[in-house]
Amino acid sequence: MTQVTMTVNGKSVSGSVEGRTLLSDFIREGLRLTGTHVGCDTSQCGACVVHVNGQPVKSCTMLAAEAEGADVKTIEGMANADGSLSTIQQAFQDHHGLQCGFCTPGMVMSASALLAENPTPSEAEVRAYLEGNICRCTGYHNIVKAIMAASGQDVAAVAAE
């Protein structure tokens, strides 16, 4: 067992982990932050995306020990300080960007990384950035719409094809 210490959603946390403990397991089982979902566990679906030092990564494909000293942000850290939904989260609700909600934590984490990098992405850029986030319910249109809306753009033109 190794001792790891990292910052998660602004708070310093530590715990002892096995070499093989995945970051997703440490977050879900160790910290009981179960908002981060594990959809495939094979690096394909993106439900487990969290930010490590500001960058989106698949937490099922990173060892907890590799996050030693890192600044980690999960979906639990996304809401505003007063508990209200962040702009992106609110846009998902307003534009019906989720159905079952399983992919949503990963979608929101990817979307916020995209908007940090590119504050007014085109529809094509949004779709390209979500390449690694799979949703089996929505057909993506409303997710794309929500992200465009969160970036302050007019979404009337983002029609279902």
Ligand X SMILES: Cc1cc2nc3c(=O)[nH]c(=O)nc-3n(C[C@H](O)[C@H](O)[C@H](O)COP(=O)(O)OP(=O)(O)OC[C@H]3O[C@@H](n4cnc5c(N)ncnc54)[C@H](O)[C@@H]3O)c2cc1C
Binding residues for ligand X (CB under 6 A): 43-44
Q: Is 102 in the site for ligand FES (CB under 6 A)?
A: yes
DSSP H or E segment with residue 6: strand 2-8
Comparison of 43 and 93: residue with beta carbon closer to ligand X: 43
Shortest Å distance, C-beta 82 to another protein? 30
Per-residue contact string for residues 8-27; x = within reach of another protein by CB under 8 A: ----------xxx-x-----
Interface size with ligand FES, residues (CB under 6 A): 22
Comparison of 49 and 146: residue with beta carbon closer to another protein: 49
In whole angstroms, what is the distance from residue 111 CA to residue 12 CA?
25
Q: Is 133 in the site for another protein (CB under 8 A)?
A: yes
Q: How far is CA 146 from the centre of its chain?
A: 15
Beta-strand relationship, 2-8 and 71-73: parallel
Sheet of strand 49-52: strand arrangement: 11-17, 2-8, 71-73, 49-52, 55-58
What lies within 8 Å, CB to CB, of 122 at 6+ separation is: none
Shortest Å distance, C-beta 131 to ligand X? 9
Residue 113 contact among ligand FES, ligand X, another protein, none, beta carbon within 5 to 8 Å by kind:
another protein
Query: What residue number has its CB nearest to ligand X?
Result: 43
Comparison of 48 and 108: residue with beta carbon closer to ligand FES: 48
In whole angstroms, what is the distance from residue 104 CA to residue 91 CA?
12
Structure tokens at 116: 């940090």
